[in-house]
Amino acid sequence: MLLKTDADAIDPRMRPFFERSGLSALRLRGRALLPIVQGGMGVGVSAHKLAGSVAALGGVGTISSVDLRRHHPDLMERTQGLATRQGMDADTKAQIDAANLEAIEREIVAARKLSQGRGLLAINVMRAVAEYAASVKRSLEAGIDAVVVGAGLPLDLPDLAAEHPDALLVPILSDARGVQLIVKKWERKKRLPDAIVIEHPRLAGGHLGAARIADLNDPRFDFENVLPQSREFLKSAGIEREIPLIAAGGIRTFEDIARLQSLGAAAVQLGTPFAVTEEGDASDAFKQVLAGAKEEEMVEFTSVAGLPARAVATPWLRAYLKIEDKLQAVTHAKARCTKAFDCLAQCGLRDGLKGWGQFCIDNQLAAALRGDLKKGLFFRGAGALPFGDQIKSVRELMERLLLRAEVAQPA
């Protein structure tokens, strides 16, 4: 792992664009990479095709670990209808979990083949999922380069990766206080983050790193505050060169990347622009919904995971929000999980948690993956996309991100 030289890490076709950009490389474990990270997006939105394609060009491609069996017909056939046939029992859950862990390994192997040894391959595992620990361990055993964890503080990640000292460990945080907490806790375990993603909850898509929707506009999350504050803390601890910061949320242009590097970021992470590329693992209909969504169609709400979230106001989401108060009024713990595998460690619907979302997130995200507007929950970040409503390739997107606006615009 990570044995290639700097010259081998970036696709030769991308080198001229990067060299002309004047941007600094993202350096991880001695490798110089393009300062572009593709964010992890579930269910199945970022799997091996997208992650492998990004890595092949010299960036960081990220697989999302959540319910990857949906990309494997044999695994779906093996687990389809288990809950109906068997009822909710330990064996049902074990079979579904085993299928998803097998899918994780398959996707990593396939992404590695696509990457041709370039770039870096990561997997995003939400701290909030029930099989968090098992997913981390299986990914490490399958040879993933980096494990990225958000949707909760991964205080135990160094313990889970203890047998894999060469793997990169990357938490997703939103403010300088979180950076200080993770670094201090991990130091006691004789491990430091290999990088930290700083995700702005007012701009990112999906689950957001704020306690409440009302907190999304808190200035402590602004890049102008959190990046310098985090760099200052790392400098005071004497480790500023060891932990690169990766800014995430609403990043769409070369100018965004240049500005964030001037504030102290080593690289940037983008989700939605990659989700709508030709290589994105979701359906074409899914991509069209995200690419065609306007800013006024973005909605913030509380997810079933208890976190603020941002998505497109599709027919399903509008209908859900209209009756959310009524659903909250009758919230109660259920005898079993709707999908029989308890995807979340804590679930607002299953556990009857007041104020948390009251829908099955796996059902809705799986429907979105298929492009089903009537049932789907389509997570999306804020801001117009680099190519508007057009669907372009990963290579075209990365080239655009390395070009100044006046160069990128067609004559």
Report the alpha-carbon distance of residue 65 to residue 122 in Å, rounded.
10
Angle at 63 between CA 210 and CA 226, to 5 degrees: 30
Residue 89: predicted pLDDT: 58
| Closest listed residue to residue 72, CA positions, set 287, 289, 281, 275 | 281
Report the alpha-carbon distance of residue 134 to residue 128 in Å, rounded.
13
Residue 30 confidence class, pLDDT cut points 50, 70, 90: confident
The answer to whether the CB of 45 falls within 8 A of the CB of 286 is yes
Residue 377: predicted pLDDT: 96
- Looking at the predicted structure, is the pLDDT value of residue 7 above 60? no
Pairing of strands 267-270, 168-173: unpaired
Q: For the chain, how long is the longest CA-to-CA vector?
A: 62
Q: Which residue has the higher pLDDT, 408 or 346?
A: 346
Report the alpha-carbon distance of residue 280 to residue 268 in Å, rounded.
19
Side chain identity, residue 87: G
- Looking at the predicted structure, is the pLDDT value of residue 407 above 80? no
Report, as an integer, the average pLDDT of 380-403: 96
Report, as an integer, the average pLDDT of 103-131: 95
Q: Please list the residues that pair with 298 across neighbouring strands.
A: 312
Question: If you average pLDDT over every residue of the chain, what do you get?
Answer: 92
Residue 328, judged by CB atoms within 10 A of its CB (0-12, 13-18, 19+), counts as middle
**Percent with pLDDT over 70 in the chain:** 94
Pairing of strands 298-302, 308-312: antiparallel
Report, as an integer, the average pLDDT of 194-218: 92
- 239-254: per-residue pLDDT in tens? 988 999 999 999 999 9
Report, as an integer, the average pLDDT of 197-226: 93
| Closest listed residue to residue 252, CA positions, set 306, 291, 278, 287 | 291
| Closest listed residue to residue 171, CA positions, set 224, 209, 137 | 209
Q: How many residues does the chain have?
A: 411
Residue 84: predicted pLDDT: 53
Residue 128: predicted pLDDT: 87
- 265-284: per-residue pLDDT in tens? 999 999 999 999 999 999 99
- Looking at the predicted structure, is the pLDDT value of residue 86 above 50? no
The answer to whether the CB of 168 falls within 8 A of the CB of 347 is no
Report the alpha-carbon distance of residue 243 to residue 231 in Å, rounded.
9
The residue assigned the tokens 């509380």 is: 302
The string of DSSP letters for 314-382 reads -HHHHHHHHHHHHHHHT----SS-TTSS--BSS-HHHHT-TTS--S-HHHHHHHHHHT-TTT---B--S
The answer to whether the CB of 176 falls within 8 A of the CB of 218 is no
Number of CB atoms found within 10 A of residue 13's CB? 11
- Looking at the predicted structure, is the pLDDT value of residue 180 above 60? yes
Whether this prediction's pTM lies above 0.75 is answered by yes
Q: Write phi, then psi, for 231 (nearest 5 degrees).
A: -65, -40
Report the alpha-carbon distance of residue 287 to residue 42 in Å, rounded.
14
Measured CA to CA in angstroms, residue 186 lies from 138, 143, 154, 180 at distances of 21, 22, 10, 10
